[in-house]
Structure 1
């Protein structure tokens, strides 16, 4: 193959390596978010809290698989694999862009639904305190709005409201409420998710262009070789 095609091949290989790294980072980031959420499977709106990290893990896995296909297509100089990679990347790119725009527009509703999770957990704490305890340990918070929520309910803050589960020292009690902590957490993470998604879209667009160029050059080279 000519020098230009060889250069495109190795550039595509490097781009797919970068995409693979991005896919791995998305999987790790999604796993960390899922771990932070805890077990809220019976809290109604809580399912929305798990959609984003699970979506990131699935999306990262798809990016990783497609990038692997692109690397193999470039190294093996396969027209079929390179074209399949380009089409798959285009579909993924469009789907991701739609998802980022939707999340951008619907951010506040999503953040508000995260606050409702804490409301529900607080209401059900008397029958099932483990949900509220998980929030308090995970976000280092106490009560829905603060430790005074327990006092107004004629109860003392539980050990999960305190640093190292030691409430004997007043300074160990978390003063922040879990509802605001939860909403602030997802508000900040949503910005990271949006801009990270746009960066990945940009990388995928470059990979798509180079994939099409490589597939076209491979097809032309094989045609000339048959003459």
Structure 2
């Protein structure tokens, strides 16, 4: 029986894999930049953004390979996917080692912002609005101060006229928990992307092999047989 290399299963396998990679990368990119940025780590934010951009680029290259069924570009995809896997592996190692340190930095940053606030310039307001929290430990941080009053950012829709609108939870609890959740999403989405990249390597390799075989077969069939 003649050996055959079907193209269609590998074509759609690679296409679906790349779509899943793009989906996971949305979480990786956004949560990574937020986590590093909240801890005031500029290099970490740039690193996660560059890794995310590289993943997007390789995923779109994989989609092109799948749609065009190109042997040439499947080789490029294999090379760039290998580089992306190496970059993500380095990122994952660094992020795992620094994750708790980033959480500590973020909490220290909030306490510093609270101490530096003034009546005319409350630097905690963006944190209140973003995470839906108030003060460090709670609204009492403001109320116990002399002539203390809640800033509008401590209330839902900036309306503090109703007690139900006041954010009761402190930012040292809620904001850190929210950031920790984003760090977890960044971590697990990175692992998922690495696994999917390996799957993409597997499908792209077999797609390229099938495409090469198809070209060779057509060329052999068109070669005239000398009498």
Q: Is TM (by shorter chain) over 0.5? A: yes
CA contact (8 A) 1:8 1:214 kept: yes
Unpaired stretches in structure 1, ≥5 consecutive residues: none
Q: Deviations over 1:165-210 (max 9, x none)?
A: 2333444332221222221111122222211221121111110122
Deviation at 1:74, TM superposition (A): 3.0
Of 153, 166, 169, which aligns to 1:173?
A: 166
Structure 2: segments with no counterpart, 5+ residues: 221-227
Q: Give the structure 2 partner of residue 18 of structure 1.
A: 20
- Once residues 31 and 99 of structure 2 are traced to their aligned partners in structure 1, the CA distance between those partners, rounded to angstroms, is 18
User: Which of 133, 143, 147 does residue 139 from structure 2 map onto?
Assistant: 147
Change (3 A) 1:18 1:137: closer
- TM-score normalized by the length of structure 1: 0.78
Q: Which has the higher contact order (CA 8 A, sep 6+)?
A: 2
Structure showing greater Rg: 2
Pair 1:196–1:25, CA change in 2 (3 A): closer
Structure 2 CA distance, aligned partners of 1:85 and 1:177?
A: 48
CA drift of 1:2 comes to 4.1
Residue 162 of structure 1 is aligned with which of 147, 155, 176? Answer: 155
RMSD, matched Cα? 3.2
Work out the CA distance in 2 between the residues paired with 1:71 and 1:170: 53
- Residue 93 of structure 1 corresponds to which residue in structure 2? 85
Offset of residue 221 of structure 1? 4.6
Matched positions, count:
216
Q: 1:14 to 1:173 in 2, by over 3 A?
A: closer
TM-score w.r.t. length of structure 2: 0.78
1:213 is aligned to 206
